[in-house]
Structure 1
Amino acid sequence: MKNVQISYELFVKLLLYHLAEDYDDTEEIAKGLQDKLDSMIRHQHYTEYKTAETEEEKQAARQKYLDTVGMHKDFRW
């Protein structure tokens, strides 16, 4: 099983949310977790691109990665 790292600040906010029932930073926690999830998805698409066995799979994964990153289609080769 893989490990996921988050910032110390987000970790403390999660602890306060769950253990101290401090619900003031709910939006910041949600944004931090969403940013981490987006980062993990980008990394997964990049890994698929780099480890694809066929050229077709590689190009499909590359396009998926570039879409996820938000690269404009005019800047792609």
Structure 2
Amino acid sequence: MMKNVQIPYELFMLLLRYHLMEDDTCLEEIRQGLEKKLDSLVQHELYGKYKTAPTQEEREKARQEYLDRRGVPDSFRW
């Protein structure tokens, strides 16, 4: 199954500029935008796994990994 991914308009325009106009002055902005989007997708997947995992152990492991990636300190967790 193919999934769609939404990206910000600015990132889309940078990608167009790079690919269609061969302007490589925006490579760093594109890299940062894609990394931010990838981090967001990974966090979304972990949260979904945390909510739907079949066993309590898998849910807890996914929850811990999600909180680690979000940068929540151990002292703030329940």
TM-score class, shorter-chain normalisation, is over 0.9
Q: Deviations over 1:6-50 (max 9, x none)?
A: 011100100110110011111111000000000000000000000
1:67 matched to 2:68? The reply is: yes
Give the corresponding residue for 1:46: 47
Give the corresponding residue for 2:19: 18
User: By how many angstroms is 1:54 displaced?
Assistant: 1.0
Instruction: Give unpaired runs (5+ residues) of structure 1.
Output: none
Give the corresponding residue for 1:5: 6
3-state SS in 2 of match to 1:68: helix
CA distance, structure 2, for counterparts of residue 12 and residue 3 of structure 1: 18
CA distance, structure 1, for counterparts of residue 40 and residue 26 of structure 2: 21
CA distance, structure 2, for counterparts of residue 71 and residue 8 of structure 1: 29
**Residue identity matched to 1:7:** P
CA distance, structure 2, for counterparts of residue 54 and residue 23 of structure 1: 48
State the number of aligned residues. Answer: 77
Extract structure 1 runs of 4+ deviating beyond 6 A.
Answer: none
3-state SS in 1 of match to 2:7: coil
Q: What's the C-alpha RMSD, in Å, of the aligned pairs?
A: 0.6
